[in-house]
Amino acid sequence: MEFIIFLTLLALGYGFGRVIEKRHFRYIFKREDELKNILLIPTKKLPETLQSDRYENQFVEGSVVISVDYFKRFLGGLRSIVGGRIRSYETLIERARREAIIRMKDQAASYGGTVIFNCKFETASISKGRRNSIGSVEVYAYGTAIVVKKTHEVQA
Amino acid sequence: MKYANPKIPEEINYSKENPLKEFLLLVAGILAVVAVFVIVTQQLTQQFAQHIPFEYEAKIVPTQFIENNFLLSNNSEKKDYLTSLANKLAQHMDLPKAINLQVYYLDSAEINAFASLNGIIIITEGLLKFVQSENELAFVIAHEIGHIKERHPIKSLSSGLVIGATIAIIGGSINNDSAANALITGSSLTALNFSRAQESQADTLALYAIHKHYGHTLGSIDFFTRLKEQSQLPTVLSFTSTHPDHNTRITDAQALAQTLTNNISASLTALPTFK
């Protein structure tokens, strides 16, 4: 009986996990294309060409939490016995990272920013260490967006 | 200097390969390793286990344990009959001297019989009602005596403990409950498969004993065939539950029964009438 429950969970995890992952990747490709005009610059210092009184800086961030499914988790567990690339987690983290960037860029776009510099990432895993619980990962991306000053507003 | 964020090339950071492929490969590989481990360990522990003195079994399962934990019938007439039948059969089975058979009659409607440590054989009321001749009953009892003669209970217990402990240690060190569970399931499936060999061994010993006792083996296999017809497959322990491959077992036993019996005019022995 326990084995049937386990197989069902595995099948559900695989089925839903695949559908959700495919859909998410499609969404990521589309959004990345839409936001491709916002440049990400990982350097700490602002490029000289952008150092001008015309611009002001703005903190932008994007965060996403994605849960691992039962199938991925099980596959990861098997991998942990023999070692090697945990492919099932790679797609998960990839999605989380790119989604976080998309959300950060969205925020920058809402301010009218076109460049984000000093980009950084943080990750956190939720319910870490608790056995038998489905784990999830948070990816947090943040940076400094360069926004064109609205001069008349400054005077007001 | 031109700076750009090109489109991220896909499938470098991750693989689009169907994870099922990896899954099947890993499961098959790990199960194969577990199966080899279980078979080797089982063979080794069983080799050692047969040298455990029989007296030790009395310490593991004392008579009191059976009396306290099972709903034993106080019908002494049936118990005495079963005991004397078992003793008669045992005379033909060359039991080691240290082994002391103890037959118990259990108040249960379930059709079952099982052998345990300390020479304990338990026959249920359901079984006694189900059999139609003494020959059928004798076969079941002789089968259980066969298990005891071959020290199957202590062998199963020993290898079960060793494998269980090892798997638990490995499983516990895997920081993933479901993977650990899969490991345990895999090992118990292998162990179960292995115990079929013991069942066949007990069948063979039983048929030889029956042949010596009655001079023929008529009726012995009837128990199997009727049980199968009624599809009464009890869920508890020894006699039927560990035998998924019922059909081959019947055929094997039938073949042996036929080579043993040449006295076609032999007749079945009736069960005594109980008060």
Q: What are phi and psi of B236, to 5 degrees?
A: -95, 145
Structure-block tokens of residue B52: 């455990």
| Confidence band, pLDDT 50/70/90 cuts, at residue A30 | very high
Contacts of A71 in chain B (CB under 8 A): 19, 23
Each residue of B2-20: pLDDT tens digit?
788 888 888 888 988 888 9
Q: Taking CB atoms and an 8 Å cutoff, what residues of chain A touch B175?
A: 77, 80, 131
Domain count, chain A: 1
CB A71, CB A126: distance < 8 Å:
no
Q: What is the mean pLDDT of residues B53-69?
A: 83
Instruction: Nearest by CB to B176, from A40, A80, A85: name it.
Output: A80
Phi first, then psi, for residue A90 (nearest 5°) are -60, -45
Q: What is the per-residue pLDDT across B22-58, written as a single tens digit (0 to 9) for each?
A: 999 998 998 898 889 888 988 898 889 888 898 888 8
Model confidence pLDDT, tens digit, residues B133-155: 888 899 999 999 999 999 888 88
Identify the domain containing residue A128 by its residue range: 2-155
The predicted pLDDT at position B192 comes to 55
- B182 touches A: beta carbon within 8 Å: yes
- Classify residue A144 as exposed, middle or buried by CB count within 10 Å of its CB (0-12, 13-18, 19+): buried
Pull the structure tokens for residue B220. 């012995």
CB distance A78–B14 less than 8 Å?
no
Count of A-B CB contacts under 8 Å: 77
Residue of chain A nearest B182, judged by CA positions: A3
CATH number of the domain residue A137 falls in: 3.30.110.70
Indicate the pairing of strand B102-106 with strand B113-115: unpaired
Looking at residue B225, its pLDDT comes to 77
**Separation in Å, CA of B132 to nearest CA in chain A:** 35
Rounded Cα distance between B240 and A99, Å, is 57
Which residues of chain B have a CB within 8 Å of the CB of A134?
Answer: none
Residue B192 or residue B250, greater confidence: B250
SS3 content of chain A, % helix, strand, coil (to 5): 50, 25, 25
**ipTM value:** 0.78
**Does the pLDDT value for residue A55 go beyond 70?**
yes
Amino acid A25: pLDDT? 95
Q: Which residues of B touch A77 (CB under 8 A)?
A: 174-176, 178-180
Q: Average pLDDT for residues A30-50, to the nearest whole number? A: 88
Q: What mean pLDDT do residues A78-98 have?
A: 89
Please give, rounded to a whole number of angstroms, the shortest distance from the CA of B204 to a CA of chain A. 34
With an 8 Å Cβ cutoff, are B13 and A77 in contact? Answer: no
